[in-house]
């Protein structure tokens, strides 16, 4: 990992603690995950050999409700990253007013090296190892980088098998056929676009002229590009782990995400898409565009490249794409940053709907899910924007953290009589 993600998360907490009403003891509690599990998962490989994979689950805070957060399968997964992601989930659920705490999990693995059977056994092994600590009332995992609805189906099945009855509410992000919810797969991106449109209105940007670059073309990046394309915005550059593409001057004004996806599915990357020039992921961030949507991994904008960023608006679709140092430099440059805990909360909001539907065994239409998502995320945006206006020199990140941390701190205090 490029920098210590949890240190960054703690710095963000320290920053906000200076402007909110939080006593020292509560703050001390908020600086630590409540529980961390480290598991070694033996998996029988296709060769017949056993390989052991290291997995984590960090349960950060449950003052507002059960722990909630995704599971990441990636070679760079480490404890600091998982802890940071679980802290950010706590603030994310809080800022949009969900009755959830925050958690996060991960396994150190390169999924490209696993067969489908090996991936299934690893996913089931993760649930076996953590069975006592997860469940609809305790901790509800979901997909993250390199984990998808199929993996959630295996995990739900494994947990249900061990319990002896069907427990669809143990994970969210499942396929619709096994208790998933309509609209979940594009909900993170849809939520981000609702927030993006609100800020475009507030900043009085000329929507037709805005040029957008999106880093990452997975679940979040692809659907963001697709929804923005459908709304008539100009997405001029996208990327994946193999590199990026930018439209060549004078050709099309926007990339058609569905066509780019077909190219990626056929060739393994967005790179080489007709009518575009190949760029690196670093170059994508430094393009002469109006809006950047980092939608891949964390710590991609740091003090090393912040001065080269030309965009005036950054919508953090990924978790933690900016380091705190970059945040300060960009604020000085007048760049508006919509923080991850608000911009990408659409996924957990619709995950919450999925869990509610699982618990009540009554399912909603896609329209119901998406219109409820819109209400929740737009209200949260208005609240954050309102807070920002009340405080001098307050970034949207600080405003969002102030609301989120204050809510968790109040719940901690009320529950624990500190």
- Touching ligand NAD, residues 263-282 (CB under 6 A): 281
- Residue found under tokens 């140092």: 325
Nearest to 225 by CA among 204, 242, 245: 245
What 3-state class would DSSP assign to 82?
Answer: helix
- The 8-class DSSP code of residue 70 comes to E
User: CA 225 → CA 56, 89, 215, 267, 297, distances in Å?
Assistant: 32, 24, 10, 19, 17
Encoding tokens for residue 397?
Answer: 């990140």
Encoding tokens for residue 365?
Answer: 């239409």
Q: Enumerate the H helices of 96-135 as residue ranges.
A: 116-130
- Tell the smallest beta-carbon distance from residue 163 to ligand NAD (Å): 26
First to last CA, the chain: 36
CA–CA separation, 84 and 86 (whole Å) = 5
- The 8-class DSSP code of residue 207 comes to G
Q: Among residues 220, 224, 235, 322, which is the contact residue for ligand NAD, using CB under 6 A?
A: 220
Q: Among residues 215, 358, 369, 395, which is the contact residue for ligand NAD, using CB under 6 A?
A: 215
Applying CB under 6 A, the span of 128-136, 163-171, 314-322, 388-396 interacting with ligand NAD comes to 314-322
Applying CB under 6 A, the span of 51-59, 195-203, 313-321, 322-330 interacting with ligand NAD comes to 313-321
Q: Does residue 316 bind ligand NAD (CB under 6 A)?
A: no
- Touching ligand NAD, residues 97-156 (CB under 6 A): 143-146
Q: Does residue 358 bind ligand NAD (CB under 6 A)?
A: no
Q: Among residues 246, 347, 399, 407, which is the contact residue for ligand NAD, using CB under 6 A?
A: 347
- Residue number, nearest CB to ligand NAD: 218
- Residue found under tokens 């319990």: 163
Encoding tokens for residue 101?
Answer: 């705490």
Q: Is residue 264 among the annotated active site residues? A: no
> What is the rounded radius of gyration, in angstroms, for the C-alpha atoms of the chain?
21
Nearer to ligand NAD, 94 or 215 (CB): 215
What 3-state class would DSSP assign to 301?
Answer: strand
- Tell the smallest beta-carbon distance from residue 164 to ligand NAD (Å): 30
Nearer to ligand NAD, 232 or 268 (CB): 268
Applying CB under 6 A, the span of 95-103, 213-221, 225-233, 325-333 interacting with ligand NAD comes to 213-221
Phi and psi at 22, nearest 5°, equal -135, 130
Report the residue count for the chain: 418
Applying CB under 6 A, the span of 121-129, 238-246, 252-260, 398-406 interacting with ligand NAD comes to 238-246
Q: Among residues 58, 319, 357, 395, which is the contact residue for ligand NAD, using CB under 6 A?
A: 319
- Tell the smallest beta-carbon distance from residue 123 to ligand NAD (Å): 15
Q: Tally the C-alpha atoms within 13 A of residue 214's C-alpha that lie toward its C-beta.
A: 31
* Selected catalytic residue, list 68, 83, 92, 104: 104
Q: Does residue 295 bind ligand NAD (CB under 6 A)?
A: yes
Q: Does residue 241 bind ligand NAD (CB under 6 A)?
A: yes
Q: Does residue 236 bind ligand NAD (CB under 6 A)?
A: no
- Tell the smallest beta-carbon distance from residue 313 to ligand NAD (Å): 18
Phi and psi at 308, nearest 5°, equal -95, -5
CA–CA separation, 112 and 126 (whole Å) = 18
- Tell the smallest beta-carbon distance from residue 215 to ligand NAD (Å): 6
The catalytic residues are 104
Residues engaged in binding ligand NAD (CB under 6 A): 143-146, 188, 215-221, 239-241, 281, 295-297, 317-319, 344, 347
């Amino acid at each position: 990992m490029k920098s210590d993600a949890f240190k960054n998360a703690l710095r963000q907490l320290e920053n906000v603690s200076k402007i909110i009403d939080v006593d020292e003891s509560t703050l001390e509690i908020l600086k630590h995950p409540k529980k961390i599990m480290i598991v070694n998962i033996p998996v029988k490989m296709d060769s017949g050999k056993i390989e052991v994979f290291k997995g984590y689950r960090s349960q950060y805070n449950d003052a507002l409700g059960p722990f909630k957060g995704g599971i990441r399968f990636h070679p760079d997964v480490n404890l600091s990253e998982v802890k940071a992601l679980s802290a950010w989930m706590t603030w994310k659920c809080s800022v949009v007013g969900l009755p959830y705490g925050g958690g996060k999990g991960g396994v150190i693995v390169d999924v490209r090296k696993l067969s489908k059977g090996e991936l299934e056994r690893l996913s089931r092994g993760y649930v076996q190892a953590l069975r006592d600590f997860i469940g609809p009332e305790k901790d509800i995992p979901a997909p993250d980088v390199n984990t998808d609805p199929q993996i959630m189906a295996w995990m739900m099945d494994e947990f249900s098998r061990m319990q002896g009855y069907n427990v669809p509410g143990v994970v969210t992000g499942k396929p619709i056929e096994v208790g998933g919810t309509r609209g979940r797969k594009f909900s993170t991106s849809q939520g981000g676009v609702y927030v993006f449109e609100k800020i475009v209105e507030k900043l009085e940007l000329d929507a037709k002229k805005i040029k957008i670059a999106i880093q990452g073309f997975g679940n979040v990046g692809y659907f963001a590009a697709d929804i923005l394309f459908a709304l008539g915005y100009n997405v001029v550059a996208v990327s994946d782990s193999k590199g990026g593409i930018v439209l060549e001057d004078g050709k099309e004004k926007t990339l058609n995400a569905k066509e780019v996806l077909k190219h990626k599915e056929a060739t393994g990357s967005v790179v080489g898409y007709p009518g575009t020039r190949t760029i690196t992921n670093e170059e994508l961030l430094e393009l002469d565009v109006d809006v950047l949507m980092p939608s891949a991994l964390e710590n991609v904008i740091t003090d090393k490249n912040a001065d080269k960023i030309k965009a005036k608006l950054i919508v953090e679709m990924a978790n933690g794409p900016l380091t705190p140092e970059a945040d300060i430099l960009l604020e000085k440059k007048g760049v508006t940053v919509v923080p991850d805990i608000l911009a990408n909360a659409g996924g957990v909001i619709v995950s919450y709907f999925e869990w509610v539907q699982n618990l009540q065994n009554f399912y909603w239409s896609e329209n119901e899910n998406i219109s409820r998502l819109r209400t929740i995320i737009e209200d949260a945006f208005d609240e954050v924007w309102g807070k920002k206006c009340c405080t001098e020199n307050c970034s949207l990140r600080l405003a969002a953290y102030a609301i989120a941390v204050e809510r968790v701190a109040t719940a901690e205090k009320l529950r624990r009589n500190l």
